[in-house]
């Protein structure tokens, strides 16, 4: 006959409790940063100035001068001689008169006029800046609280049976 042994189970009791622990996680943090964008601009200033330009030419200028012009001619003069002949001699005769003679010469002539001429000069360079915004991001470690469940086993303060050592 088998004697049945009475089984008692006295187990540890499971106590649940929560602990706050910190886990390191990374968060993305972004900032807008002002970045200057500069460029140099060179300007030119232009004015119109009057410039005198001259053209040299020659014009023919003519005048008339009175000039004496003479022509020589001969008149024949004949005289009777004693022997019934004629004796002739040529007598010079000069006739003069004033005539107009053109006298021309080249006279320098200058024609001048004003012409508008564009004259430019560079001004000192100027720097212009514009501001751009760029986003700069970085990963920042942060500690995040996490609630974790823990178990703790405890034996009852007073054990009635000592036959079990396990739960």
Nearest CA among 47, 64, 63 for reference residue 120: 47
Q: Give residue for tokens 């001259």.
A: 54
On the 0-12 / 13-18 / 19+ scale of CB atoms within 10 A, 36 is: exposed
pLDDT of residue 127: 86
Predicted TM-score (pTM) of the model is: 0.26
On average, the pLDDT of the chain sits at 80
C-alpha to C-alpha distances, 14 to 20, 82, 116, nearest whole angstrom: 19, 203, 107
Q: Which residues contact 65 (CB under 8 A, 6 or more apart)?
A: 100, 101, 103
pLDDT at 1 over 50: no
Q: How far apart are CA 65 and CA 98, in angstroms?
A: 9
Q: What are the pLDDT digits (tens) for 34-82?
A: 888 888 888 888 888 888 888 888 888 888 888 888 888 888 888 777 7
Share of the chain above pLDDT 70, in %: 86
- Counting every residue written for the chain, the total comes to 167
């Amino acid at each position: 006959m088998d004697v049945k042994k009475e089984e008692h189970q006295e187990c540890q009791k499971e106590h649940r409790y929560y602990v706050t622990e910190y886990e390191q996680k990374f968060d993305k943090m972004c900032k807008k940063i002002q970045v200057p964008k500069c460029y140099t601009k060179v300007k030119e200033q232009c004015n119109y100035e009057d410039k005198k330009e001259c053209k040299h030419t020659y014009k023919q200028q003519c005048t008339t001068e009175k000039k004496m012009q003479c022509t020589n001619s001969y008149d024949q003069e004949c005289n009777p001689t004693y022997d019934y002949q004629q004796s002739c001699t040529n007598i010079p005769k000069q006739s003069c008169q004033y005539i107009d003679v053109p006298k021309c010469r080249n006279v320098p002539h200058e024609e001048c006029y004003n012409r508008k001429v564009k004259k430019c000069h560079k001004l000192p360079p100027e720097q212009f800046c514009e501001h751009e915004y760029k986003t700069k991001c970085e990963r920042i470690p942060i500690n995040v609280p996490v609630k974790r469940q823990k178990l703790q086993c405890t034996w009852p303060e007073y054990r009635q049976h000592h036959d079990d050592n396990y739960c």
